[in-house]
Structure 1
Amino acid sequence: MDKQFIDKGKLPPACVEIEDAVIGSMLCFQNSVDEALMIISKPEVFYKDSNKNVFTAIQSLHKVGNPIDLMTVSAELRKLGLSEATGGDWYLMELSGKIASSAHTEYHCRLVLQKYMARQTILFSSQIIALAYDETTDIFELMGRWQKEFDNVVDYISTGRDTMSFPAALQNLKQEVELLTANKEEVKLVGVHTGFRRLNKYTGGYRNQELIIIAARPGMGKTAYVLKCAIENCKIGVGVGFISLEMSMQQLTARAVAIDTNFHLKQLLKTGFEHKEYFSTYTHHQERMKEYPLYIDDSGKTDISDVVIKIKILVRKYDIKIAIIDYLQLMTDRTVKGNREAEISSISRRLKALAKELDIPVIALSQLSRAVETRGSSKRPMLSDLRESGAIEQDADIVQFLYRPEYYKIDIDVDDYDTSMQPLISAGANSEVIFAKYRGGSTNTTLLKWIGDKTKFVDVECEDDMREDVDVYEVKALPCVSPADAFGEPEKSNNGIDF
């Protein structure tokens, strides 16, 4: 029995009978060996020492492709010097004699794994508590260690996750193609809304488990771009989590209103409204937008462990379907003791792992290096411009660059674009969305319009996006109420004297 549990006077979580069933099944049935090793990866998962030893022998035989049965496992235990401590051949025969079928091996393995996770949680929590009482402990390093240990335990949840069969994958692909083919005139999404009609046509939406990097130089409109994505999803009831490491809740709210209405950002943050009637318009939009499932965290905690926890809480509490992080270079990783490139590499890997674990798209904004500014000719960004780490390019499923020629005082020349894009330029498009990496298809460039005074990108093919006027709703005057009506007639006492 483990000492840490004896000291507490409690029995550790364990199910020895189920452990015996798992080991016995592995000794008798080859399919049980494969199922168990997909779920249980190390002997320490077993609580009983004898079962740890037998599993070690089975794992050793499996690694080199040797057959697994009573005889081979017995020989391997002797070879490893574990036979006597295990109980010899008698113990192996006792285990195998208890098993008649391998039907429930997977279920039994998961029960064993759950008990191991419970023991590990108790163990590292006890250590964390002890360190928290120590005055010399750095609390921030302790929290980082806690998160790392917790993640290690949580990782076991996905261990042995069923792999989709190829026939099932083919059927899923067919359903996606049917969805895309059903009505070519109407954009069909197999992922979440990108925020723009043209991008939806190209991608089918951002898909679950994808890590999407939106990169640009400062001031190019990265936050405005992803806020448009967030708002369009909220309009159709899709929950969005927005982790803001730079802007405050008030700034983001003002930008969201400017993007989703025809108010100018300057009106909302600096000058106020020119006409009092606009307050009724704002109230109308306020009533509409307050129903949006948009959850913004602007606490400013930049460590990747804190960000991961926040997003997991948002998924669990609000069932968000997409997470947005603004932005990657403001994040840190206390667990990495090295240069900044190694730190960013660790952060991008964890974001990709988070997208896969939660089965949602994760969008992270990223800065570009100053190399863009020093180029003499075109200022269009390239993958090599991604700041601080090539790992971002490696981990991302999609890398998009935002490029506005007017940012560099460059005039747009219609002749620079192919014939399919020229009508968009004529309609007012002035910004490029460059797909520099796209695992779901070929690289491509599409065009949007940037409206600077409203700080938003719009789709020139969408009439609602292109509207410039502010709707004015009727302001109803409040009814005039006399003091007598408001407060009632003064009461009189029985003798006629006013109170």
Structure 2
Amino acid sequence: MENPSANIKTNFKPQKINTVNRGKLPPQAVDLEEAVLGAMMIDKKGLNETIEILQEEFFYRPEHQYIFAAITTLFNESQPIDLLTVSNQLRKDGKLESVGGDFYLIGLTQKVSTSAHIEFHARVIQEKYVLRKLIEISSNIIDKSYDDTSDIFELLDEAESEIFKITDGSLKSSYMDSKSLVFQAIEQIKAMSEKEGLSGVPSGFTEIDKITSGWQASDLVILAARPGMGKTAFVLSMAKNIAVDSKMPVAVFSLEMSSVQLITRLIVGETGIKSDKIKKGTLTDAEWKQLYTKVKGLENAPLYIDDTPALNVFDLRAKCRRLVSQHGVKLIIIDYLQLMTTRDKGASGNREQEISTISRSLKAIAKELNVPVIALSQLSRAVETRGGNKRPLLSDLRESGAIEQDADIVTFIYRPEYYKLDHWDDEEATPCAGQAEFIIAKHRNGALENIRLRFIGDQAKFTDLETESFDFGEPVMLQSSMNDGDDLGFTASSEEAFGSGFGPEQFGTPEDFNTDDDDVMPF
């Protein structure tokens, strides 16, 4: 019997299985590699710039990696670089025969006559290496994406971390030799002498900067206090000092207050108008004029505010990477640590373990991005039950001892006035009205100190003790926006925050500025 299906025609064709690498070579520029190496051996011009651009692994061919390593060794030892010295160095390294002997080196020098375009060629070599790395990263991500056991959030974090290393230009070995590290340390010491002893980001508070030399890159700084002491007011005062006065980009992640509330606090501090009048909008004509004039000092300052509630450490890391990469942020502030969350299912239900994970993650972010991270933290109620002056201790850190362990610096804010005390507990019984103490309780790389500051309650700001008010200098403006397409949850513009015109309706009612957090202080 004839099979009916035998006469049925079909257009079905077997699908071809394509792979990423079939019929393709990895991105490379071997001819430019030869030209760059040859130019290095015949002309010193442009050598310094090329050495900074290129790294050994950037070269596609292994023999070119060996030759570049020999040139780098000679450069670091301040030796002349030419055909003979490179040949001798390769012989010392046992690599001369591996690269093809002196004949190959001679061939490299004969292919070029000048180093006029050596920097451009070096950039192309770098680009080819980046493309090869992207292919490698993408292949790894594809393989892990097909693995059902892969954790999606860990995979996303790994992918973004690897891509960030490329965009940040930090594609280099994870280790450095002692000579390179000593050179970097000396350069840092020189920089400190030029900046009057400040090697980090200045806080704007004179005595604090003397002790810390500024907030140091990769440090995790914990600022802890009981509710009402003024943690938020202190970091906002510091953010103003850095972003407006020093014009250094600062990022503030506020898990408690909205971005408009934070900006309004800054407006109160800058204008000197009482907070009650700002909240109610009951300003006189003269005060409105003063507001218009003074607020210009905030509009273009490099201050970026994210008020995403219950922010988790994965999202925080992603946002911080983009801020550092796109805007060159020099300091990250988090208000406050206990309001953060994790996606670690293993820590679910164990708050101490969750806080430990958050603390470790913040330290990892500071180290990865090489910027200081300042995280606010609550103190336990043990402070309130203690007798005496109720000055906070390290043991009062709330919910986890890991915070103290992970932090490079642990600081406290203490105001005796909050506890109805009218004088300090020193020998002179100095009056403490309108004053606060900034306590450095742990300092991994420096001294411990108690520093007194002035606290202006009705303006919610801190200043140096001998300073009556802020010196705002020349007006500059506040940028609370990201570039177009940066969907990070930041305030889009100053007009979006304040409205197109300034008036009582732009500042809302007193209820608009209430917060559920217990860190409520005189506004």
Q: TM-score range by the shorter chain?
A: 0.5 to 0.7
Tell me which residue corresponds to 1:257.
267
Q: Where do 5+ consecutive residues of structure 2 fail to align?
A: 1-16, 31-58, 74-92, 107-122, 473-523
2:285 aligned counterpart, secondary structure:
coil
For the pair 1:6 / 2:19, whether they are aligned, the reply is: yes
CA shift at 1:25, angstroms?
Answer: 4.7
For the pair 1:431 / 2:472, whether they are aligned, the reply is: no
**Alignment equivalent of 1:459, drawn from 452, 461, 464:** 464
For the pair 1:244 / 2:254, whether they are aligned, the reply is: yes
Is the contact between residue 248 and residue 298 of structure 1 (CA under 8 Å) also seen in structure 2?
Answer: yes
CA distance in 1, matches of 2:308, 2:146: 28
What's the TM-score, normalizing by structure 1? Answer: 0.65
CA distance in 2, matches of 1:5, 1:268: 65
For the pair 1:21 / 2:62, whether they are aligned, the reply is: yes
Q: Note closer, same or farther for the CA distance 1:206–1:249 as it changes in structure 2 (3 Å cut).
A: same
CA distance in 2, matches of 1:406, 1:427: 7
1:219 aligned counterpart, secondary structure:
coil
CA shift at 1:143, angstroms?
Answer: 4.6
CA shift at 1:212, angstroms?
Answer: 1.3
CA distance in 1, matches of 2:186, 2:335: 36
CA distance in 2, matches of 1:283, 1:198: 33
Q: Note closer, same or farther for the CA distance 1:428–1:458 as it changes in structure 2 (3 Å cut).
A: farther
For the pair 1:308 / 2:326, whether they are aligned, the reply is: no
CA shift at 1:454, angstroms?
Answer: 2.1
Tell me which residue corresponds to 2:82.
none
Single out whichever of 271-280 and 431-440 deviates more from structure 2.
271-280
Query: Which amino acid counterpart does residue 390 of structure 1 have in structure 2?
Result: G
1:243 aligned counterpart, secondary structure:
strand
Q: Note closer, same or farther for the CA distance 1:434–1:171 as it changes in structure 2 (3 Å cut).
A: same
2:160 aligned counterpart, secondary structure:
helix
Q: Note closer, same or farther for the CA distance 1:124–1:278 as it changes in structure 2 (3 Å cut).
A: farther
CA shift at 1:238, angstroms?
Answer: 1.3
CA distance in 1, matches of 2:234, 2:276: 18
CA distance in 2, matches of 1:194, 1:361: 11
Q: Where do 5+ consecutive residues of structure 1 fail to align?
A: 33-67, 71-92, 102-106, 181-187, 468-499
Tell me which residue corresponds to 1:209.
218
Tell me which residue corresponds to 2:377.
366
CA distance in 2, matches of 1:418, 1:127: 69
Is the contact between residue 211 and residue 397 of structure 1 (CA under 8 Å) also seen in structure 2?
Answer: yes
Is the contact between residue 310 and residue 341 of structure 2 (CA under 8 Å) also seen in structure 1?
Answer: no
| Structure 1 residues 150-193: Cα deviation after superposition (integer angstroms, max 9, x where no partner) | 3256568455154543255245325524643xxxxxxx633222
CA shift at 1:347, angstroms?
Answer: 2.5
1:365 aligned counterpart, secondary structure:
strand
CA distance in 1, matches of 2:66, 2:268: 64
Is the contact between residue 13 and residue 118 of structure 1 (CA under 8 Å) also seen in structure 2?
Answer: no
What's the TM-score, normalizing by structure 2? Answer: 0.62
Query: Which amino acid counterpart does residue 323 of structure 1 have in structure 2?
Result: I
CA distance in 2, matches of 1:349, 1:159: 24
2:346 aligned counterpart, secondary structure:
coil
CA shift at 1:307, angstroms?
Answer: 0.9
For the pair 1:173 / 2:174, whether they are aligned, the reply is: no
CA distance in 2, matches of 1:333, 1:11: 42
Bigger radius of gyration, 1 or 2?
1
Tell me which residue corresponds to 2:87.
none
Query: Which amino acid counterpart does residue 248 of structure 2 have in structure 1?
Result: V
Tell me which residue corresponds to 1:402.
413
CA distance in 1, matches of 2:190, 2:455: 37
Alignment of 1:463-474 (within 5 A): 463-465=468-470
CA distance in 1, matches of 2:359, 2:372: 14
